[in-house]
Amino acid sequence: MLYNTKKITTALTSWGALYDPKYKGQITIPNNPIQIADAAFYLQHSQPDLGIKDPYELNKKQFDATIAVLKDQRKLVKLYWNYDTDGRAAFANGDVSLGAIWPVDTLALQAKGVPVKEVIPTVGATGWADTWMLAAKAPHPNCAYEWMKYVTTPQVQAQQALIFGETPVNPKACPNMNKIEAGSCAKYHLNEPLNYYNKIKFWKTPIANCGDGKNDCMDYNAWQTAWTQVTG
């Protein structure tokens, strides 16, 4: 969660801010069906009696409650950003002062001198991991292994993290990152303790079978349809 400290002077600490009518017309939210999980995660803590355990596994009742919250939120939203650079521009131009956006955008905005502050509420946040993929039937498996070994070395991890603006997976990349750009290891949260990562609910595809044997969860098709109804 990111907010403009000049426009919003009270320190924000909870996801509730993104659903607060006080900030009507100042909010930006990513335009992506997986964003439903953010609202579900908010409800998981603000309305425990709904019984949400995992924001990516929602039964009909939990899902409907989440969509209702999102439909209310839509009235407050100025912009559903498609590319993070659009959300970034809206912050920079002063069109929005509060929203959900990626940590890399915080860094970019702060580098431009925009007075913004990033908050991860104590309950945690949703997040995602980008993945390298290897072809299952690679014609030269040894080369594939060599390549895998190469991209996970601290030096390559550090370079890739700084070019792409993401936290690398290899914690040993920390000194390499600092060597390329002083202080970048802390900036990209690579030196955080393990409970920092444990608080991130990583994206996964919602499916009907969510482990309780009842097959009653809403699948990703339902998520997509509902997201269009919310934003369209």
Partner 1 sequence: MTEFAEAGASLRGARLRLSAALWRRPWLKLGLLLAAPVLVFAVVYLGALVSLFVSAFWQIDSFTAAVIHKWTLDNFKTLWNDHTYWRITGRTIGLAVTDAVLAFPLAYFMARIAPPRWRALLFVAVLLPLWSSYLVRIYAWRTILAKNGALNWVLNGLGLPDAGLAYTNTAMWIVFSYVWLPFMVLPVYAALERIPDSYLEASQDLGAKGSRTLRSVILPLAIPGIVAGSIFTFSLTLGDFITPALVGGAGSSFIGNIVEDKVGQPDIPFAAAFATVPVVVMGIYLLIARRLGAFEAV
Residues in contact with partner 1 by CB under 8 A are: 31, 33, 74, 77-80, 82, 86, 89-90, 93-95, 205, 207-208, 219-222, 224-225, 228-229, 231-232
CB of 224 to partner 1, least distance (A): 6
Q: Which is nearer to partner 1, 70 or 108 (CB)?
A: 70
Residue 32 backbone phi and psi in degrees, to 5: -160, 130
Within 13 Å and on the Cβ side, how many CA atoms surround 207? 7
Element (H, E) at 78: strand 77-81
Shortest gap between Cβ of 105 and partner 1 (angstroms)? 17
Please say whether the dihedral angle defined by the alpha carbons of residues 111, 6, 28 and 207, taken in this order, is positive or negative: positive
Residue closer to partner 1 (CB basis): 142 or 205: 205
Beta-strand relationship, 77-81 and 2-4: unpaired
Q: Which is nearer to partner 1, 68 or 186 (CB)?
A: 68
- Bridge-partner residues for 125, per DSSP? 200
In angstroms, give the least distance from the CB of 138 to partner 1.
21
How far CA 163 is from CA of 89, 157, 177, 225, in Å, comes to 20, 10, 11, 35
Q: How far is the CB of 149 from partner 1 (least distance, A)?
A: 30
Nearer to partner 1, 191 or 228 (CB): 228
The amino acid present at 158, given as its one-letter code, is A
Q: Considering beta carbons, is residue 76 or 173 the nearer one to partner 1?
A: 76
Q: How far is the CB of 86 from partner 1 (least distance, A)?
A: 7
Separation of alpha carbons 87 and 83, rounded Å? 7
